[in-house]
C-alpha cells in the first residue's frame, strides 16, 4: 500500500514493529484524526475510506494496525490475551505509538475514529486521557458483551474453519491465523461474557458521536443507546440499511454526518 511505513515501539518489554500510514501529512497544523480498526481489521482493510474522510474534513489522518494485525509484528514472544486486551491497547499501545511518532496529544488533542473493537478502544482512551482527545467518533462500538455478539462470533469461527474466510483475511494480514484466533478465542472465552466498560466511559468529556447500523449483526442498538445514558452529551446516529460496518455500507451518509459533527465541535474549540 502506498505510503506505508513502520515504526518500532516498546510495549511492556516487547518490541513491536507497527505498520502505519499518514494521510495528508502536509496539512500541518490541522487536526489529526487517528483511525482504530475493528477486531479483524488492519490498515489495508480500511481501503480508501480514511482518505475520503480526511479529505472531506480537510485534516490529517493516521491509520495503523495493532500488534499482530496486518503487517504489524511482535518481535518476541507474546502472552495470551487477557480479558483486558482492549484496555491495554488504549492505555499502553496507542500512547507508545504516539510517542514513537512524536505526536504529543497534550499539545494538540487528537480526534479518534474507531470501529467495533477499535471503537471500544477509542472510548477507553478518551475516558483515561480526557485532556488528550478533542473529539471521538465510534462505529458499532462494544460497551458490554451481548448474546448476539457471541452468536455471530461463533458463526465466524465456523466460517473460518469451513469456508474461504482464511484466504480472504490473508489479503489483509501477514499472519491471518494469529489475527483471527486471538480475536475469536477471547470473545468466545466464557469469562469474557462479564466484560463491560459501561462504568468507565462515564468520565468521557470530549464531543462524542456514536454510530450504529440498524441491521448490525454483531451488536444491538443498546450498545450506542447505553453510551448515551452514561455520556449524556453523546450524539447518536442510527443508520438504516446498514450492518456492522457503516463506513462500507453507508459511506456517504457517514462522511456527511462526521463532517458536520467535527466541524461543529472543532469550531467550538477555536480550530
Domain coordinates of the chain in residue numbers? 4-268
Torsion 257-259-264-265 (CA) sign: positive
Average pLDDT over residues 254-260: 98
Fold adopted by 4-268: Rossmann fold (3.40.50)
What is residue 1's predicted lDDT score, i.e. its pLDDT?
Answer: 43
Q: Which phi and psi angles does 164 have, rounded to 5°?
A: -90, 20
- Judged against a pLDDT cut of 60, whether residue 53 lies above it is answered with yes
Beta bridge partners of 138: 114, 210
Is residue 111 within 8 A of residue 31, CB to CB? The reply is yes
**Rounded CA separation 12/14 (Å):** 6
pLDDT mean across residues, the chain? 95
Q: What is the pLDDT of residues 59-81, one digit of tens each?
A: 999 999 999 999 999 876 666 78
**Rounded CA separation 80/43 (Å):** 23
Q: Is the pTM of this model over 0.85?
A: yes
Is residue 56 within 8 A of residue 105, CB to CB? The reply is no
What is residue 64's predicted lDDT score, i.e. its pLDDT?
Answer: 98
What is residue 2's predicted lDDT score, i.e. its pLDDT?
Answer: 57
- Judged against a pLDDT cut of 50, whether residue 271 lies above it is answered with no
What is residue 20's predicted lDDT score, i.e. its pLDDT?
Answer: 98
Residue % of the chain over a pLDDT of 90: 91
Q: What is the DSSP string of 15-59?
A: EEEEEEEEESTTSTTS-EEEEE--TT--TGGGTTHHHHHHHHHT-
Q: What is the pLDDT of residues 3-31, one digit of tens each?
A: 899 999 998 888 899 999 999 999 999 99
What is residue 12's predicted lDDT score, i.e. its pLDDT?
Answer: 80
- Judged against a pLDDT cut of 80, whether residue 231 lies above it is answered with yes
How many residues are present in the chain? 271
Q: Which of 69, 71, 98, 101 is closest to 85 using CA atoms? A: 69
Average pLDDT over residues 94-118: 97
Beta bridge partners of 8: 17
What is residue 114's predicted lDDT score, i.e. its pLDDT?
Answer: 98
Q: Where do runs of H (alpha helix) occur along 129-234?
A: 147-162, 165-169, 176-187, 222-230
The C-alpha angle with vertex 23 and arms to 18 and 24, in degrees rounded to 5, equals: 145
What is residue 75's predicted lDDT score, i.e. its pLDDT?
Answer: 75
pLDDT tier, 269 (very low <50, low <70, confident <90, very high otherwise) = low
Amino acid at each position: 500500500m502506498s505510503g506505508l511505513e513502520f515504526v518500532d515501539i516498546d510495549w511492556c518489554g516487547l518490541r513491536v514493529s507497527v505498520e502505519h500510514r499518514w494521510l495528508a501529512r502536509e496539512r500541518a497544523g490541522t487536526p489529526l484524526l487517528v483511525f482504530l480498526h475493528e477486531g479483524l481489521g488492519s490498515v489495508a482493510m480500511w481501503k480508501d475510506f480514511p482518505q475520503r474522510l480526511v479529505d472531506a474534513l480537510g485534516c490529517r489522518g493516521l491509520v495503523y494496525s495493532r500488534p499482530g494485525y496486518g503487517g504489524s509484528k511482535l518481535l518476541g514472544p507474546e502472552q495470551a490475551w487477557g480479558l483486558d486486551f482492549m484496555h491495554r491497547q488504549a492505555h499502553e499501545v496507542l500512547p507508545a505509538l504516539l510517542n514513537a511518532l512524536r505526536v504529543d496529544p497534550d499539545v494538540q488533542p487528537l480526534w479518534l475514529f474507531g470501529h467495533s473493537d477499535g471503537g471500544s478502544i477509542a472510548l477507553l482512551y478518551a475516558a483515561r486521557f480526557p485532556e488528550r482527545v478533542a473529539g471521538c467518533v465510534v462505529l458499532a462500538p462494544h460497551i458490554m458483551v451481548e448474546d448476539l455478539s457471541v452468536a455471530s462470533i461463533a458463526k465466524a469461527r465456523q466460517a473460518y474453519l469451513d469456508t474461504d474466510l482464511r484466504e480472504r483475511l490473508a489479503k489483509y494480514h501477514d499472519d491471518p491465523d494469529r489475527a483471527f484466533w486471538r480475536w475469536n478465542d477471547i470473545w468466545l472465552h466464557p469469562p469474557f461474557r462479564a466484560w463491560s466498560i459501561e462504568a468507565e466511559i462515564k468520565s468521557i468529556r470530549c464531543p462524542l458521536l456514536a454510530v450504529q447500523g440498524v441491521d448490525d449483526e454483531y451488536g444491538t442498538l443498546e450498545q450506542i443507546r447505553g453510551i448515551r445514558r452514561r455520556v449524556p452529551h453523546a450524539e447518536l446516529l442510527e443508520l438504516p440499511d446498514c450492518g456492522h460496518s457503516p463506513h462500507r455500507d453507508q459511506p456517504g451518509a457517514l462522511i456527511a454526518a462526521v463532517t458536520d459533527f467535527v466541524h461543529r465541535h472543532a469550531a467550538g474549540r477555536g480550530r
